[in-house]
Amino acid sequence: DAGVIQSPRHEVTEMGQEVTLRCKPISGHNSLFWYRQTMMRGLELLIYFNNNVPIDDSGMPEDRFSAKMPNASFSTLKIQPSEPRDSAVYFCASSLGTGRLEAFFGQGTRLTVV
C-alpha cells in the first residue's frame, strides 16, 4: 500500500484565497483525521471522520475551515478565505478504527499564506 497520500505537498497562496487540501487514506481504513502542526501549538486535531461521517469537529478553529469526506477513499480540508495565521503543516492520518488502533500519517501539506 502507498500509505496515506496528501496533495499538494506545498501550497503558497495569497490572503483571502480559497485553499483546498486533499487526502487519500489507506485502503480499508475506516477513520480519517486532519491535524495541523505549528511551532507554537504543536500537533492539533482539527476534525476526524469515522466511516465517512464527521464525528468531532471541535478542533476546527473557525467557520473558515470546513472538511468533507464524500467517500471512503477521499477527504478534503478547505479554508475560505485563507489568512496568514493559517500557515502551518496540515497532516492527514488514517486508521483501521477509531483511537484504539494504530494511526498512519501522510507526508503533510505545507501551507503558506502571504
Partner 1 sequence: KQEVTQIPAALSVPEGENLVLNCSFTDSAIYNLQWFRQDPGKGLTSLLLIQSSQREQTSGRLNASLDKSSGRSTLYIAASQPGDSATYLCAVSNTDKLIFGTGTRLQVFP
- Contact residues toward partner 1 (CB under 8 A) are 31, 33, 42-43, 45, 48, 50, 55-56, 91, 93, 98-108, 110
Shortest CA distance to 18 belongs to which of 53, 75, 65?
A: 65
Q: How many whole angstroms separate alpha carbon 52 and alpha carbon 44? A: 20
Identify which of residues 50 and 76 has a Cβ nearer to partner 1 in the complex.
Answer: 50
Here the cell at position 3 is 500509505
Backbone angles phi, psi at 4, to 5 degrees: -80, 130
Nearer to partner 1, 81 or 110 (CB): 110
Q: In angstroms, what is the minimal distance from the CB of 16 to partner 1?
A: 27
Smallest gap, in angstroms, from Cβ of residue 10 to partner 1? 10
CB atoms < 10 A from the CB of 30, how many?
A: 16
| Closer residue to partner 1 in complex, CB, 49/86 | 49
